[in-house]
A and B are shown apart, each in its own frame.
Chain A
Amino acid sequence: MKEKDDTDKEYLFDKPRNVKILLGCFFSSLVVLLILEFFVHKHPHFPWEGWLEFYAVFGFVACVALVVAAKYILRPLMKRREDYYD
């Protein structure tokens, strides 16, 4: 394994421009998805599935809740030194 002896070689995401393009694509696809929903005829099993942008909001809120709970509740409770069991 070579240790960073070819640092002069530029890789795909070493250029900030490429990262910007990627993020741009990502954010625009979010907007497209939000707009797309207006053209979809839904047939929901549950009433809330018919609410506007239900899945988008749920996905965002669920992930934030997940991370916050894991970081501020689970980790302080469960974290131990690496050699705890030794």
Chain B
Amino acid sequence: MINTIPPALIFIIGALLVPFFKGKVKSAYLLLLPVISFINLISIPIGNHWVVSFLGYDLVFGKVDRLSLLFGYIFHLISFIALLYALHVKDDLQHVAGLVYAGSALGVVFAGDLFSFFVFWEMLTISSIFLIWARRTRASLGAGFRYLLVHVCGGLCLLAGIVLYVNQTGSIEFGYIGLNGPATYFIFFAFGLNCAWPILHPWLTDAYPEATITGTIFMSAFTTKCAVYALARAFPGTEALIWIGAIMTGFPIFYAVIENDLRRVLAYSLINQVGFMVCGIGIGTALAINGAVAHVFNDVLFKALLFMSMGAIMYRTGKINGTALGGLYRTMPLTCIFCMVGAASISAFPLFSGFVSKSMVMDAAAKGHMKIIWFILLFASAGVFHHAGIKIPFFAFFGHDSGMRPKEAPLNMLIAMGITAFLCIFIGSFPGPLYSLLPYPVDYVPYTMPHVVGQTQLLFFSALAFSLLLLSGIYPGEQRCVNLDSDWFYRMAGKRFMWFCDKPLVAFGNFIDRNVLRMARASKSSFGGAAHFEDGFDKFYHVGLTSTPTVIYNWVKRLRTEIGYLPINLIYVFICFVVLLFIMLLLGR
């Protein structure tokens, strides 16, 4: 107790020291940090630690139980892998941001009260945004601002929910909340936003593909998984989650089929995988929660592996679009093999890690006699193989020959991918150690004959469908294009606002203008001393009514020509959101 410290603290303090090291010492330091923190973590006993009294409330920085510990383990593991993968990066900003990000995630997971939870939750956003901006392109700048916008809105929702909740219950303990009353709906919504629920999801598919090569590995691991943790802690067994999760598994695969940017394909499949977890938490039985949490553990690994292999391609070729890649297995064979291990794991092939966790959620749905949910999940299982399992490796490493002959990935990337690939296969082949870490005792055997044969049939015949569609030319070719998603609403809001200023507002101004003048003229002809009156009238109404729209219009227009639509979008959407939030708060009271 005395000789252990909160894991979040190690990462965050450690991050601030990074710029003071140079060369090989820095590399060693970066890799040692998660290892030291992990040793610290395993010596923390179960229970509540580091309780600090603050304004009459108890802040708990170490709520350690089996659920939070498992998340703690995987977050340490992936931090180590992501740091190893990013070892060649010379940019200190990325290392610092990555470490603070990991530290915040650990802070969220071990937070035992709503206040410290909220602070770490916001730090997740702030630190991760630098991983997007560090790419230093115009697209990443925009994506980063949109990411910030969405998460600040989510954060406000969470804050509103927490304030209402604490006001009602008088306790700031973070435990089971459950859906009852407006306060909990606000919290639920905020969790859902970070979890990338349908319609709330485009921040993820917008921002992750714009982040730096190494930053995406961090990002794929933390934000959504923290939200899954929060849901598992506060809302297990909430029925709405079953349906939300099922829809999450279903809709992104359609987008993934037609998406060209391969990292965006992975972002869609990330939503699909989180859907399985959300669904499991919604079902809420011991088997389902176990399955959801085990799937978090596996998904962090195989999704990182897939992002790493795509990152390696991007690092070597500078390209990531399916239209520009192909045939890279020739000179990047190891990356290709690691990518296929990740693909097999995410598709839940027997002996790969996805198989031992996804099937737990499916079985929990079957045991609960949820026919439609089960069918959606099965459809999503076939679909995920189709886009993440085949499309990603095929379009990058096989398919048409792009003519590029890049070098194999750098050594640190290869080692990072190798470790992850090994873990994917190890967990898939020997699920025992993972099962022993799960929150509830596990009484589940994944490797039964009908299950193995059924799953293999499902996957192989999906592959058959892919190859037949490809050979017949029906398979949609990759195209350079943008696919609309629900981020349309806030990306086009500025344009809509401009239109509003341009058309109705100015028309209104002109209308007033004309009538005021006419009235003034009429009064002049019938009234002797009207000249004076007209002057005053005109000044007041003309300047007051007519020019206000014109001034707004000119102002917005100048802003647009100087810095583009982005800030108009952001400001406009944010103001609308805050107004909406206040209205809802007033109604909800």
The interface size bin for chain B is 35 or more
Interfacial chain B residues near A13, Cβ < 8 Å: 329, 398
CB nearest to A69 among chain B residues: B254
Tally of A-B Cβ pairs under 8 angstroms: 157
Q: Interface code A1-41, partner B: CB below 8 Å = 1, 0 otherwise?
A: 11111100001110000000001001001100110110011
Interfacial chain B residues near A77, Cβ < 8 Å: 484
Q: Pick the residue among B383, B469, B491 that contacts A62 (CB under 8 A).
A: B383
Q: Do A1 and B398 form a contact, CB below 8 Å, given A74-B255, A75-B258, A80-B484? A: no
CB nearest to A34 among chain B residues: B457
Q: Is B496 an interface residue (CB 8 A)?
A: no
Asked whether, in the complex, the Cβ of A58 is within 8 Å of the Cβ of B316, the reply is no
Q: Do A62 and B316 form a contact, CB below 8 Å, given A49-B454, A71-B476? A: no
Interfacial chain B residues near A71, Cβ < 8 Å: 257-258, 474-476
Q: Is B547 an interface residue (CB 8 A)?
A: no
Q: Quick one: which of A5, A6, A23, A63 has the most chain B CB within 10 A?
A: A63
Asked whether, in the complex, the Cβ of B461 is within 8 Å of the Cβ of A59, the reply is yes
Asked whether, in the complex, the Cβ of A59 is within 8 Å of the Cβ of B457, the reply is yes
Interfacial chain A residues near B317, Cβ < 8 Å: 1
Q: Do A1 and B316 form a contact, CB below 8 Å, given A41-B449, A56-B457, A63-B462? A: yes
How far is it, in angstroms, between the C-alpha of A72 and the C-alpha of B407 when the chains are bound? 38
Interfacial chain A residues near B404, Cβ < 8 Å: 1, 3-4
CB nearest to A19 among chain B residues: B398
Asked whether, in the complex, the Cβ of A46 is within 8 Å of the Cβ of B398, the reply is no
Taking the closest CB of chain B, its distance from the CB of A70, in whole angstroms, is 4
Interfacial chain A residues near B253, Cβ < 8 Å: 66
**B:338-379 near A, CB below 8 Å:** 363, 366-367, 371, 374, 378-379
CB nearest to B469 among chain A residues: A67
How far is it, in angstroms, between the C-alpha of A56 and the C-alpha of B456 when the chains are bound? 9
Interfacial chain B residues near A46, Cβ < 8 Å: 366, 371, 374
How far is it, in angstroms, between the C-alpha of A26 and the C-alpha of B255 when the chains are bound? 28
Asked whether, in the complex, the Cβ of A80 is within 8 Å of the Cβ of B482, the reply is yes
Asked whether, in the complex, the Cβ of A62 is within 8 Å of the Cβ of B382, the reply is yes
CB nearest to A68 among chain B residues: B474
How far is it, in angstroms, between the C-alpha of A12 and the C-alpha of B467 when the chains are bound? 19
Q: Do A63 and B466 form a contact, CB below 8 Å, given A69-B254, A71-B476? A: yes
Q: Pick the residue among A41, A57, A58 that contacts B450 (CB under 8 A).
A: A41
How far is it, in angstroms, between the C-alpha of A69 and the C-alpha of B457 when the chains are bound? 23
Asked whether, in the complex, the Cβ of B453 is within 8 Å of the Cβ of A37, the reply is yes
How far is it, in angstroms, between the C-alpha of A4 and the C-alpha of B199 when the chains are bound? 44
Q: Is B200 an interface residue (CB 8 A)?
A: no
Asked whether, in the complex, the Cβ of A63 is within 8 Å of the Cβ of B254, the reply is no
Taking the closest CB of chain A, its distance from the CB of B348, in whole angstroms, is 12
Interfacial chain B residues near A5, Cβ < 8 Å: 405
Q: Is B455 an interface residue (CB 8 A)?
A: yes
Q: Pick the residue among B330, B379, B405, B475 that contacts A3 (CB under 8 A).
A: B405
Q: Pick the residue among B366, B382, B406 that contacts A45 (CB under 8 A).
A: B366
Taking the closest CB of chain A, its distance from the CB of B570, in whole angstroms, is 14
Q: Do A45 and B482 form a contact, CB below 8 Å, given A40-B450, A56-B457, A67-B474? A: no
Asked whether, in the complex, the Cβ of B330 is within 8 Å of the Cβ of A75, the reply is no
The interface size bin for chain A is 35 or more
Q: Is B464 an interface residue (CB 8 A)?
A: yes
Q: Pick the residue among B254, B379, B382, B463 that contacts A74 (CB under 8 A).
A: B254
**Interface class of chain B by DSSP:** helix
Asked whether, in the complex, the Cβ of B480 is within 8 Å of the Cβ of A85, the reply is no
Q: Pick the residue among B374, B407, B469, B484 that contacts A78 (CB under 8 A).
A: B484
Q: Quick one: which of A34, A43, A60 has the most chain B CB within 10 A?
A: A60
Q: Is B517 an interface residue (CB 8 A)?
A: no
Taking the closest CB of chain B, its distance from the CB of A81, in whole angstroms, is 7
Q: Pick the residue among B378, B398, B406, B450 that contacts A42 (CB under 8 A).
A: B450
Taking the closest CB of chain B, its distance from the CB of A33, in whole angstroms, is 5
Interfacial chain B residues near A34, Cβ < 8 Å: 457
Interfacial chain A residues near B406, Cβ < 8 Å: 1
**B:401-433 near A, CB below 8 Å:** 403-407
Asked whether, in the complex, the Cβ of A70 is within 8 Å of the Cβ of B257, the reply is yes
Interfacial chain A residues near B461, Cβ < 8 Å: 30, 55-57, 59-60, 63
How far is it, in angstroms, between the C-alpha of A5 and the C-alpha of B453 when the chains are bound? 45
Asked whether, in the complex, the Cβ of B254 is within 8 Å of the Cβ of A59, the reply is no
Q: Do A59 and B329 form a contact, CB below 8 Å, given A68-B474, A70-B257, A81-B482? A: no
How far is it, in angstroms, between the C-alpha of A45 and the C-alpha of B366 when the chains are bound? 6
Interfacial chain B residues near A63, Cβ < 8 Å: 382-383, 386, 461-462, 465-466, 469
Interfacial chain B residues near A12, Cβ < 8 Å: 329-330
Asked whether, in the complex, the Cβ of A80 is within 8 Å of the Cβ of B258, the reply is no
Q: Do A78 and B485 form a contact, CB below 8 Å, given A36-B453, A56-B458, A63-B386? A: yes
Interfacial chain A residues near B525, Cβ < 8 Å: none
CB nearest to B481 among chain A residues: A79
Asked whether, in the complex, the Cβ of A59 is within 8 Å of the Cβ of B371, the reply is no
Asked whether, in the complex, the Cβ of A4 is within 8 Å of the Cβ of B465, the reply is no
Q: Is B483 an interface residue (CB 8 A)?
A: yes
Asked whether, in the complex, the Cβ of A40 is within 8 Å of the Cβ of B479, the reply is no
Q: Is B459 an interface residue (CB 8 A)?
A: yes
Taking the closest CB of chain B, its distance from the CB of A53, in whole angstroms, is 7
Taking the closest CB of chain B, its distance from the CB of A75, in whole angstroms, is 5
Interfacial chain A residues near B21, Cβ < 8 Å: none
How far is it, in angstroms, between the C-alpha of A5 and the C-alpha of B331 when the chains are bound? 13
CB nearest to B483 among chain A residues: A78
Q: What are 19 A-B residue pairs whose CB atoms fall within 8 Å in the complex?
A: A1-B406, A3-B403, A3-B404, A4-B403, A26-B467, A41-B450, A59-B461, A59-B462, A62-B462, A63-B386, A63-B461, A67-B469, A70-B255, A70-B258, A71-B474, A74-B254, A79-B479, A81-B481, A85-B491
